[in-house]
Amino acid sequence: MDSVLIIGQGIAGSVLSLSLHIAGIPFVVVDDGHKTSSSIVAAGLYNAMAYKRGNLAWRAHELFDGCETFYQKWEKEFKVKFLHRDGLHRRIHDAEEYNNWTARMADKNLAPFIDKLVSSDLFSDSFDLPQGLCKVRGGWLDVPLFLETTKDFLTERASYLEAKIDLSKLESREGKWNWNGRLFSKVILCTGYRSAYDDRFFSGLPFSLAKGHTLILKVPGAELDEVINANVFVIPLGDDLYRIGSTFSWVNLNEEVEEKEVEKLEKEFQRLCSLPYEIIEKMAGVRPTVQDQKPLIGESKENRGVWHFGGFGSRAVLYCPVLAESFIERLEKRSPEDTETSVDRKRL
């Protein structure tokens, strides 16, 4: 059987490769060692609610259960725990927000994704949580661990290579794509935000990239076991370590850490938690965000056999598993194009 070349081993390339493995389709994944990876910076949070407005995320009913089932299946296979399904505690800022959450719990569309209202008594006094919290279903994926375990699995099967692919050097020959003397029936770009700079296959995709920072803090005495999501999120990593994030900015779209963004995060953390802390690590990455917030999935019209699987914005953990399955059906020509996620969408 012809083989598929996947370029990029972030969340998208990893989930897709595991799905191709299940489908019995041979493939090779090539990554440049995460040089421009958003995934290694990602907090890995997933839930079905939109962050600010509290309505449902795009296709939440279809995507949520499939997402958890996928990562749990691979946890069993790898015998490694990377999915933390303990729920997310959304800080309630004022009485109006409290009323909104109560109304959402009575809404039959939203109720399946909301667990309960939680008293602040369950958290250390060092956290400023005067109106309590609302626990929603979801959790977080330990993305670096998921990527590393997937890479080991692929390497053992000779399905992973570390290299940077120069897209301009991919050649089409008798309906196949040649990279380094190897022929592939299909090439799939899972190159994250770098796709925004690709003029060879998918020029003009409607990206609206957003840079983000996260920090790892050591906060002795916080005694937090579950995620709090306020103006910053706080994810417990064990040993008094917490991941804090994240910022949004639309300039300097690269992996360089900017001190003014770090200060923003620190300020928000200090508003939430009065305990002293030490910064252990600072990270920055670029989210492959799209103008209308929907992924970009499909085949190049001009270069048949070259596909794009990306544009997952801030929701790669939730989106990738179910969308990878439907993507493979399209790859095999068993289902038509999904216009909502089409790569032919134009810039607004």
Ligand X SMILES: Cc1cc2nc3c(=O)[nH]c(=O)nc-3n(C[C@H](O)[C@H](O)[C@H](O)COP(=O)(O)OP(=O)(O)OC[C@H]3O[C@@H](n4cnc5c(N)ncnc54)[C@H](O)[C@@H]3O)c2cc1C
Chain contacts with ligand X (rule: CB under 6 A): 7-13, 30-32, 34-39, 41-46, 164-165, 167, 190-192, 194, 212-214, 245-246, 285, 287-288, 310, 312-318
Q: Shortest distance, CB of residue 40 to ligand X, whole angstroms?
A: 7
**In this complex, which beta carbon is closest to ligand X, that of residue 42 or of residue 129?**
42
Shortest CA distance to 237 belongs to which of 24, 19, 32, 81? 81
Q: Shortest distance, CB of residue 290 to ligand X, whole angstroms?
A: 10
Q: Give 281's DSSP letter.
A: E
Q: Shortest distance, CB of residue 221 to ligand X, whole angstroms?
A: 25
Decide if 7 contacts 191 (C-beta within 8 A).
yes
**In this complex, which beta carbon is closest to ligand X, that of residue 118 or of residue 284?**
284
**In this complex, which beta carbon is closest to ligand X, that of residue 111 or of residue 163?**
163
Secondary structure (3-state) at 259: helix
**In this complex, which beta carbon is closest to ligand X, that of residue 207 or of residue 312?**
312
Q: Which amino acid is it at 314?
A: S
Q: Shortest distance, CB of residue 310 to ligand X, whole angstroms?
A: 5
Shortest CA distance to 142 belongs to which of 237, 2, 264, 257? 237
**In this complex, which beta carbon is closest to ligand X, that of residue 118 or of residue 316?**
316
CA distances from 225 to 84, 161, 323, 335 (A): 11, 37, 31, 43
Q: Shortest distance, CB of residue 88 to ligand X, whole angstroms?
A: 10
- What's the sign of the alpha-carbon dihedral 311, 266, 144, 162? positive
Q: Give 137's DSSP letter.
A: S
Decide if 229 contacts 90 (C-beta within 8 A).
yes
**In this complex, which beta carbon is closest to ligand X, that of residue 118 or of residue 286?**
286
Q: Is 225 exposed, middle or buried (0-12, 13-18, 19+ CB in 10 A)?
A: exposed
Q: Shortest distance, CB of residue 214 to ligand X, whole angstroms?
A: 5
Q: Which amino acid is it at 342?
A: S
Q: Is 234 exposed, middle or buried (0-12, 13-18, 19+ CB in 10 A)?
A: buried
**In this complex, which beta carbon is closest to ligand X, that of residue 89 or of residue 213?**
213
